[in-house]
């Protein structure tokens, strides 16, 4: 028990020093901020942020819930099941900037869709519009519904459904009266999560919406880095913290009300509309995903080319960007390595404290960063660096660790729960010391979770853009920010090449994890 108490000090010190204390510095730096006046002054931005997040979450639910039904309540053909399973992993695997560029190459004015429609004399112009933002959010977030709602759907007791059918309750009536009440908490959880992600969206709004549309997250960045208006940035930051904290609390409440299972799962016949849905999923998810991966080899006219990569690594770009792409790739990978190791180390202690030491406070501490947006974390670290004069690489590692910690902590909690205490006790009786216990018992049994944690933390650090674009300065620039700068300076072919490299690295990380997991 005493070890558990000591272990929760590790995440508590880290979160306190690099999240709570910087936020305190923000409030201390601007004590006379009038939030009501700020809300009135920035009313249009706040209203638009609420509106676009609500509309995005609604359409996300409309696309995600049918997918959850097909995956967990029907006899899904093997091909379609593989496609939908892969689609459900998209938001957990690929960075927002990668998918935004893929969306751009698919639905943009010169994208794949318009290339096909032009043969019929049709031109689709959605780039830099409100529908573009909504579509970008939907295709990036609807797999959340497939995962969360689908998991709840699969846990419904099959005997309940069979009893309802015997009583004459079939089809739509059975869904409304029996299934919907059971999965409703998971639908609310998914809706709130999707709402928060869209509320704090940065890459999608900035790339697909353009300067005409500005959310709170984008506005905070603009006030911090472009206009240097710290008062306005802090006002929006505090308003965003208050709102996200409230929504996160609601999400936690609904997520605890999960559906229990006490019998077999009932599978229905695959419906005809499922084929249409699978086609839409391919167009909405896999086409942009494919364009993200192969976009570097696509020329402006649509043919195959290697010139995008040649131009990317040419010396001419150095004078435009202030850094070479090769150095950026090496620097990004170094940050990912340090972030992954640091996050895993903290989560190892925090999860041990939570599971073995029964210290639930440890989990609470690790999930505090979920109530704060990336822009807010970056703003707080800007204030902290003025006090402590911290280098940019260190600040980036800190912010990536804070963002990754909740996910990695949850994964390592599962690892501790799946490691039988009896094996550890038997090893102790046989005289196993600390290092033997770690390297011969715990680490081998936790290998899949450890590799998964390293991959997730690395992927988040490689693809994170909101905090990075606020904190970074050349030459300390990451691949995601460099991709955006290439786009904003009209170097689209080079941006496609850098984005493809980014996608390959992230997908490669998860391929290694899946391979190791299957061997394990």
pLDDT digits (tens, 9 = 90+) for 318-351: 777 888 899 999 999 999 999 999 999 999 888 8
Interval 103-128 mean pLDDT: 81
Cβ neighbour number for residue 456 with a 10 Å cutoff: 22
pLDDT in tens, 202-226: 888 888 887 778 888 888 888 888 8
Mean pLDDT of the chain, nearest integer: 80
Query: Are residues 113 and 250 located together in one domain of the fold?
Result: yes
Residues with Cβ within 8 Å of 376's Cβ and at least 6 positions away in sequence, in order, are 23, 220, 237, 240, 241
Domain boundary, last residue among 293, 314, 331: 293
Which pLDDT belongs to residue 416? 78
pLDDT in tens, 374-402: 888 998 998 898 888 889 999 999 999 99
Query: Are residues 324 and 471 located together in one domain of the fold?
Result: yes
Q: Is residue 27 part of a domain?
A: no
Query: Are residues 278 and 256 located together in one domain of the fold?
Result: yes
Which of 14-28, 72-86, 475-489 is the least confident region?
72-86
Interval 194-207 mean pLDDT: 86
Residue 49 has pLDDT above 80, yes or no: yes
Query: Are residues 397 and 361 located together in one domain of the fold?
Result: yes
Query: Are residues 241 and 385 located together in one domain of the fold?
Result: no
Q: Name the residue among 250, 467, 484, 469 with its Cα closest to residue 372.
A: 467
Say how far apart CA 416 and CA 438 lie, in whole Å.
12
Query: Are residues 238 and 164 located together in one domain of the fold?
Result: yes
Q: Is residue 301 part of a domain?
A: no
Opening angle at CA 28, ends 26 and 31, nearest 5: 105
Q: Is residue 520 part of a domain?
A: yes
Q: Is residue 24 part of a domain?
A: no
Which of 213-222, 282-291, 326-335, 451-460 is the least confident region?
282-291
Which of 211-215, 281-285, 502-506 is the least confident region?
281-285
Which of 194-203, 204-213, 370-379, 453-462 is the least confident region?
204-213
Of 54 and 38, the structure prediction assigns the larger pLDDT to 54
> What total number of domains does the chain contain?
2
pLDDT confidence of 1, banded at 50, 70, 90? very low
Of 244 and 479, the structure prediction assigns the larger pLDDT to 479
Domain boundary, last residue among 232, 263, 293: 293
Interval 232-257 mean pLDDT: 75
Q: Is residue 13 part of a domain?
A: no
Residue 237: domain span = 32-293
Residue percentage of the chain with pLDDT more than 90 = 16
Cβ neighbour number for residue 35 with a 10 Å cutoff: 11
Interval 75-103 mean pLDDT: 70
Which pLDDT belongs to residue 519? 44
Q: Is residue 312 part of a domain?
A: yes
pLDDT confidence of 252, banded at 50, 70, 90? low
Residue with tokens 């086609």: 279
Query: Are residues 190 and 60 located together in one domain of the fold?
Result: yes
Query: Are residues 280 and 318 located together in one domain of the fold?
Result: no
Residue percentage of the chain with pLDDT more than 70 = 81
Which of 100-114, 270-284, 503-517 is the least confident region?
503-517
Query: Are residues 282 and 338 located together in one domain of the fold?
Result: no
Residue 476 sits at φ, ψ, to 5 deg, of -85, 75
Interval 234-256 mean pLDDT: 75
pTM, 2 dp: 0.81
**In b/e form, how buried is each residue of 415-434, taking b as 16+ CB within 10 angstroms?**
bbeebeeeebeebeeeeeee
Query: Are residues 233 and 322 located together in one domain of the fold?
Result: no
Query: Are residues 90 and 135 located together in one domain of the fold?
Result: yes
Which pLDDT belongs to residue 286? 75
Q: Is residue 298 part of a domain?
A: no
Q: Is residue 395 part of a domain?
A: yes
Query: Are residues 85 and 218 located together in one domain of the fold?
Result: yes
CATH number at residue 219: 1.10.3720.10
Interval 26-34 mean pLDDT: 73
Domain boundary, last residue among 241, 264, 293: 293
């Amino acid at each position: 028990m005493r070890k558990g108490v000591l272990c929760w000090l590790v995440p508590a010190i880290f979160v306190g020093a690099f999240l709570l204390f910087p936020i305190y510095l923000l409030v201390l730096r601007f004590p006379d901020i009038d939030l009501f006046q700020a809300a009135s002054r920035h009313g249009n931005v706040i209203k638009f942020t609420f509106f676009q997040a609500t509309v995005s979450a609604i359409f996300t639910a409309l696309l995600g819930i049918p997918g959850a039904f097909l995956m967990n309540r029907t006899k899904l053909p093997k091909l379609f099941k593989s496609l939908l399973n892969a689609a459900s992993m998209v938001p957990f695997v690929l960075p927002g900037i990668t998918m935004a560029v893929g969306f751009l190459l698919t639905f943009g004015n010169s994208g794949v869709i318009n290339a096909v429609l032009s043969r019929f004399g049709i031109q689709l112009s959605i780039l830099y519009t409100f529908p573009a933002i909504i579509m970008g959010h939907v295709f990036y977030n609807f797999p959340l519904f497939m995962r969360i709602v689908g998991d709840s759907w699969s846990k419904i007791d099959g005997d309940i459904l069979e009893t309802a059918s015997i009583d004459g309750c079939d089809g739509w009536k059975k869904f409304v009266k029996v299934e919907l009440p059971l999965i409703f908490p998971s639908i609310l959880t998914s809706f709130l999560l999707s709402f928060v992600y869209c509320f704090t969206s940065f890459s999608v709004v900035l790339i697909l919406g353009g300067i005409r549309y500005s959310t709170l997250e984008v506005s905070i960045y603009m006030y911090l880095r472009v206009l240097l208006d710290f008062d306005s940035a802090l006002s929006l930051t505090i308003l965003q913290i208050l709102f996200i904290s409230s929504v996160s609390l609601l999400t936690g409440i609904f997520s605890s009300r999960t559906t229990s299972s006490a019998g077999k799962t009932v599978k229905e016949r695959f419906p005809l509309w499922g084929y249409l849905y699978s086609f839409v999923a391919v167009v909405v998810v896999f086409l942009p995903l494919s364009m993200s991966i192969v976009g570097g080899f696509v020329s402006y006219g649509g043919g195959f080319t290697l010139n995008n990569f040649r131009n990317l690594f040419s010396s001419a770009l150095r004078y435009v960007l202030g850094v070479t792409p090769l150095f950026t790739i090496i620097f990004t990978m170094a940050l990912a390595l340090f972030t992954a190791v640091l996050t895993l180390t903290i989560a190892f202690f925090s999860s041990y404290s939570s599971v073995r030491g029964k210290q639930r406070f440890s989990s609470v501490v690790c999930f505090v960063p979920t109530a704060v947006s990336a822009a807010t974390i970056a703003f707080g670290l800007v204030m902290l660096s003025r006090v402590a004069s911290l280098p940019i690489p260190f600040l980036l590692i800190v912010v990536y660790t804070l963002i990754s910690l909740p996910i990695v902590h949850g994964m390592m909690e599962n690892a501790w729960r799946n490691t039988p205490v009896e094996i550890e006790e038997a090893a102790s009786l046989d005289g196993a010391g600390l290092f033997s216990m770690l390297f011969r018992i715990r680490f081998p049994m936790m290998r899949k979770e450890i590799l998964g944690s390293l991959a997730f933390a690395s992927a988040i650090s490689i693809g994170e853009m909101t905090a990075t674009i606020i904190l970074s300065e050349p030459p300390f620039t990451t691949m995601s920010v460099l991709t955006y700068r290439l786009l904003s300076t009209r170097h689209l072919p080079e941006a496609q090449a850098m984005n493809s490299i980014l996608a390959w690295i992230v997908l490669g990380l998860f391929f290694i994890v899946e391979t190791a997991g299957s061997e394990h």
